[in-house]
Structure 1
Amino acid sequence: MNFERLDVWKRSAALSVAVFKHFKSSHERGLKDQITRSSLSISSNIAEGYERMSSKDCVRFLYYAKGSCGELRSQLYISMEIGEIDSNTAFQWINETTELSKMLGGLIKVISKS
């Protein structure tokens, strides 16, 4: 299976696009750079893991993607507190990162058993 067919990849890529669009006009450089990188890292690590030749490598990169979900979630809370993002959008994306993390955990279990 290729990564483009995975719902978790599709959803993480869509989240990254939304984050990039939101922060496009932001003047807060440090946070903007960090939050866009962590959002992009989720789908990128899923893709890289699926292009690896072994299940062990794939799982390792899925764990990286899962870690990036937590990193992004933390940054979203901070962004909301400093007024860079409204609470409705922040909580929508926080919920999405939580769901993506669960999906990745399930995928990791399936691949680890094979």
Structure 2
Amino acid sequence: MRFEKLGVWKRACRLSSDIYKQTKLVRDFGFRDQITRSALSVASNIAEGEERNSLKENIRFLYCAKGSLAELLTQIYIGMDVGYIHKESGREAIVESKQIAAMLSRLIQVKQEQLRRTER
């Protein structure tokens, strides 16, 4: 599996695990379900895209991962604001999310350049 070698996938998995741990005592099950689904979706979309047969599909799933990351960031901010997520843990998750987003952006750029070269 190619995705297991990607640093961005490894970091997304760790972030997802951290979100699960940080929210395991949250009694607002709707919130907890939504934030853990968003976090899980980031790494899952990276993995699914890497296993697709075309660069176009791969890129599409990387964009989906970025979208899930934006959802996650929104939920972290709200979770901190309402007291579901400890401020320090939330700030760490925000920094990590932004770094993962930057890694995804770079990976998308590389894949788009590969796609352009193959279409010439």
TM-score between both structures, scaled by the size of structure 1: 0.97
Map of 1:66 onto structure 2 = 66
Percent identity of the aligned residues? 47
Map of 2:117 onto structure 1 = none
User: Whole-Å Cα distance in 2 between the matches of residues 101 and 67 of structure 1?
Assistant: 9
Map of 1:25 onto structure 2 = 25
Q: How does 1:102-113 map to 2 (within 5 A)?
A: 102-113=102-113
Q: 1:5 is aligned with what amino acid?
A: K
- Deviation by residue 1:15-64 (Cα, 9 ceiling, x = unmatched): 10111112122211111000000000000000000000000000000000
Map of 1:101 onto structure 2 = 101
Measured after TM superposition, the shift of residue 82 of structure 1 is: 0.3
- SS of the residue corresponding to residue 49 of structure 1 reads helix
* Alignment pair present for 1:36 and 2:21: no
Report the count of equivalent residues: 114
Tell me, which stretches of 5 or more residues in structure 2 are unaligned?
115-120
Map of 1:6 onto structure 2 = 6
Map of 1:55 onto structure 2 = 55
Shift >4 Å, 4+ stretches = none
From the CA coordinates, give the structure whose radius of gyration is larger: 2
- Tell me how large the CA RMSD over aligned residues is: 0.9
